[in-house]
Structure formats: C-alpha cells, structure tokens
Amino acid sequence: MSSATATVGRQVTLMRAFLRYGIEQQTAYRAAYWAHLWNTAVKVFAFVVVWRTLYAVAPDQFPVSRSQMVAYGVVAAITSEVLDWWKGPHYYIAYRVQLGTITGDLLRPISFPFQLFAIWTGESAAALLLVGVPAFGGAAVVLGGAVAPAGVLAGLLAVLSFVVSFAMLFCCSFLVGLVVLKTLNLLGVMHLYHGVLTLLSGFWIPLWFFPAPLRLLADVLPFRGIFFTPLSIYVGELTGTRLELALLHQVVWLGLLILAVRWAWAVMRRRLVVQGG
Amino acid sequence: MGAGTATRRAAGHYWLFLKMGIRSQTVYSFDSALLLVAVVFLNVVDLSLLGVILSRFSNLGGWTLWEVVLLYSLYLAALGVQNLFTLHLNLIDTYVRDGTLDQMLVRPVSPLVQMLGKEFHYRNLIHHLGTGLVGIVLAADRLGLTWTPGRLAILVLSILGGSAVLTGIVLGLSSLAFWTVESQVFGYGTLQLQEVVQHYPAHIFGTWFVRLVTFVLPFAFLNYYPVLALVGRAQQAGHPFLAYASPLAGVLAVAAGALVWRAGLRRYQSTGS
C-alpha cells in the first residue's frame, strides 16, 4: 500500500516538474507569448465574424442557433491554439534526434512516451492558463453569454471529452513523431498532419456541413474526436444517444491509439539510430 | 553612366549569390518531394473546405465560391513568388546573431543586395506559386473571365506587386532585429492576420479592418484588391484606384522595409559572435 502511495507521489512530483518546465517553455520569450495571444484573438475574431456573416445568409443551413455557432467558433479557435500540433511531441522527437540529445531522454528511468506526455501536458496546461483563459475571458466580455456552454452538464461533458481528445492528439502526434524518426523529414510530414487535422477534426469547418462521403470518412476516423466531438457537446448539438456514441467513438479510438503508440515505440526503440551529437 | 555600371554590377552580384544559393539546396531531394506533396495537399484541403462552405451558402460577404478561390489562389501565388526570392529574410535576426551579417559587411557589395540574393528557394517554385496559378486559372474559367491582355497584365503586375508588398513587410519586420535581436516573433505575430486575408474577403470584417490591411500591414494588396480588379468590380474598393495599386504598394512597402533595414544597419554593432 505504502509503495503504491510512493509511486503515485513520485508521479505527481514528476508531473509537477514537467509542468514547471512547460510553463517556462511557454513564457521564456515574452514577445512570443504576446504574439501567440494576439494570434489567438485574431483567430477568434475571424471565426466569429465568418460564422455570423454566413448565418445572416442562410440560417436554415445550421443545425444550431446563431449564438451556439458563435460559441463553437470561439472555443474552436481557442482550443486549436492551446492544443498546438505544430510544436507537439513529434517536433520534440525530431529536434532531439537531430541534436542527438534523445540519448539522454532514453537513459532516464521513465518511459520515453510518458516523458513526452508529461512535458506536453505541462506545455498545454500552461498555454491553457496563459493563452486560453485570457482569450476566453476576453471573448466572454465582448460577446457575453453567447460563448457559454449549452448547460452545466454539457460544459462538464465537454471538458471530459476534451481530456480524451487531448490524449488522442498526443497519441497521434507521437505516432507522427515516429514517422519523422523513420523518414527524418519533419516539415513535410508536419504539413501532411496539419492538413489531415484541418480537414477531419472539425476545428475550422464543423462536420455537419460536409457532403455525405466526406462526412462518412470523418465519422469513422479518429480525428473528429479531437475537436468536433467536444465542441459539439459544448454547444449542445450532441445530446442523448448520439452524445454517448460520440464519446464511445472517442474512447475506443483512444484505446486503439494507445495500443498503437506502445507497439510502435517498442518496435522503433530497438531500431533507433541516433544521428548527431 | 556610373550609376548604370553600378546597377549592372549589383545585378551581376545578385545572380552570383543566387547560383550559390541554389547549389546549397540541391541535396535532400526526398525531403523536397514530400514537402511539395504536403504543401499542395494542405492548400487543397483549405480550398476544399472553403468549397464545402460556399457550396452551402451562396456567398460570403457578397463574394461567390470561385471569387473566394481566386482570392485564396492570388495570395498563394504572391506568397510563392516572395518565398522563391526572399524567404530567408525571415532569418535576418539569426544572421545578426550568428555573425553572417558581419561577413556581408566586409564584402565590397551592398549588404542589402547580398541579403536579398542570399538564397533562391527554388524548391518553393511549385508549392505555393504552382498551386496558386492552378487555382487562378480554374477560378477565372469558372467565373467566365477571359484572359484579355489587360487582365493578364493586371494579374502579372498584381502578383509581382503583392510579392513585393510581402517582401517589404518581411524586410521591415525582420530588420527590427537590429533593435530587439529576436525578430521572427514579429512575423509570427502577423500569421493569423495573413490567414484571415488569404481566406476571406477583407470587407466582411469591417472598414477598420480593410484600412488596417491597406495602410498599416498592407496584405490586402496581395489578393483582395487584385480580385476586385480582375472581376471588374474595382468600384467596390474604397477607391477604384486601390484595385490596381498592388505594384505601387509593392514599391512603397519595399522602400519602407529598406528604410528600416538601413536605419537598423546604421546603429548596428556586431553581437560579437
């Protein structure tokens, strides 16, 4: 019992250390932080204006109300900036392999995927606190109640769904990182990854506007679980059985992705060739 | 006569530096191919999603689907030309820090000419420019625009002017490195603004926004105004002249960028690295 407590205690200490590291990473360059906040604000502004403009053209095309669509746009813009998939685990892997310092990561007595997960959690938590919260606060001041979730339950379920989506995004990025390890090409792979997420995750255009074949593809693949599912829950578009099925889709895909990460890492670490130094 | 010789010599030097830049990039062909596929894919995704939206809603701020495709593609084309010649201007802060700029200063050639000609990013030839041109041709066809000599001239001059606008902005912002050491963050800070101008007709965001991207950070000259000229709706610009003003805006932007560069260079003391 006490050893289990000690293990948990050690994990908490580790997470705290990585969280601190993440906050330091986010704030090391103050100018970069302000630029990030500014970019987020511009993105929120653009999403809101575009959805309002389109809503004025044809409200009947939307399965949700005008203020629900505004809420979708605001939260989509902010979460897609907080969960940054340009500088995620895959970027870290490529960078550390190039430098050769990945050997140091591998020597540590905790698994490499867990280290990356902890670092990324720290960075994302810091981004959430330093960019997400102020951006959302600003939007709430300007737009008022329109940015609120559909209800308390919808809000809580959306948070839960975002936690799952966070883990899903980590797994996807980690797998992309292993592809980078194999091809030693970061930029091309990252652009492809960004394209797939833009198309299928629903952070820009919600999937309910998709034509049938594309919708089917997006529904089956895991990526809609990263933004579309939590966002649809947040605005109250997903309820009842559809909501349960969407959460199930997320959890099943997360399970598969975790298995994929474990398997791919087990294979890859045996074949890893460290380049530089 | 003396000025002519100097210009010819500068042009000769520019060419020499370009050739060296090309040679330094001929390795890594797999990387280039993959990046090309990826960038084209990313643009196709963006255009498809805009298509998904605009096929549902007849217009965005009065602009139809293919006008928005033209808007997006013109931005890509101008970005493509800028990337070809001056992508490396983003790295001025790195050159200041690592002493590359010092090397340029000891050579008997204008540092600005050396900086502009430092590299030629031919790998970006098809990425943006190619995709953009395909989009322009497609959109023009769907919009029923015929390529009269006049329209073709507007297109070419707008793309060149737009790429000059971008070069001027990047040169100006990157040259802030002479004061702040780090300057890539300024370019990063305009990223979302550029995304917005590339994807949506600027006027839907309000008059103040159009003024911002016309007079302060004139990204609208890359695509918004040229589209108005190409589809024959110049009167919808704040002033009809603006629709044709991309080349002039390009000259002004580069001049402004060069002023910042020169002011920075005058106060420059090597970082010593």
For position B182, what pLDDT does the model report?
A: 81
Residue B272 has a pLDDT of: 56
In this predicted structure, the answer to whether residue A277 has a pLDDT above a threshold of 50 is: no
What is the pLDDT, as a whole number, of residue A118? 86
Pick the range with the lowest mean pLDDT from A4-8, A231-235, B243-247: A4-8
Q: How far is A6 from chain B (nearest CA, A)?
A: 43
Look at residue B144 in the predicted model and tell me its pLDDT: 96
pLDDT of residue A134: 97
Across residues A50-58, what is the average pLDDT?
94
For residues A130-153, average pLDDT = 95
**Contact check, Cβ <8 Å, A195/B42:** yes
Mean pLDDT of chain B: 89
**Which residues of chain B fall short of a pLDDT of 70?**
1-2, 21-30, 123-124, 270-273
Does B6 contact A at CB distance below 8 Å?
no
Higher pLDDT, A228 or B119: A228
Report the complex ipTM: 0.88
Report, in this order, helix, strand and coil percent for chain B, each rounded to 5. 80, 0, 20
Tens of pLDDT along A60-97? 999 999 999 999 999 999 999 999 888 888 888 888 87
Contacts of B185 in chain A (CB under 8 A): 29, 31-32, 35
pLDDT of residue A137: 97
Give the pLDDT of residue A81: 93
Of the candidates A29, A54, A204, the beta carbon closest to that of B49 is on A204
Q: How many CB pairs under 8 A join A and B?
A: 101
Judge whether residue A120 has pLDDT over 80: yes
User: Does B46 lie at the interface with A, CB-CB under 8 angstroms?
Assistant: yes
pLDDT value of position A87: 80
| Residues on chain A touching B176 (C-beta within 8 angstroms) | none
Question: DSSP characters for chain A?
Answer: -HHHHHHHHHHHHHHHHHHHHHHHHHHSSHHHHHHHHHHHHHHHHHHHHHHHHHHHH-GGG-SS-HHHHHHHHHHHHHHHHHS-SSSSHHHHHHHHHHHTTHHHHHHSSS-HHHHHHHHHHHHHHHHIIIIIHHHHHHHHHHHGGGGS-SSHHHHHHHHHHHHHHHHHHHHHHHHHHHHHHHH---HHHHHHHHHHHHHHS-SSS-GGGS-HHHHHHHHHSGGGGTTHHHHHHHHT-S-HHHHHHHHHHHHHHHHHHHHHHHHHHHHHHHH------
> Does B35 lie at the interface with A, CB-CB under 8 angstroms?
yes
Over range A156-180, report the average pLDDT: 95
Contact B52 A58 (CB under 8 A): no
Beta-carbon separation of A45 and B205 below 8 A: yes
Q: What integer pLDDT is reported at residue B25 of this predicted model? A: 60
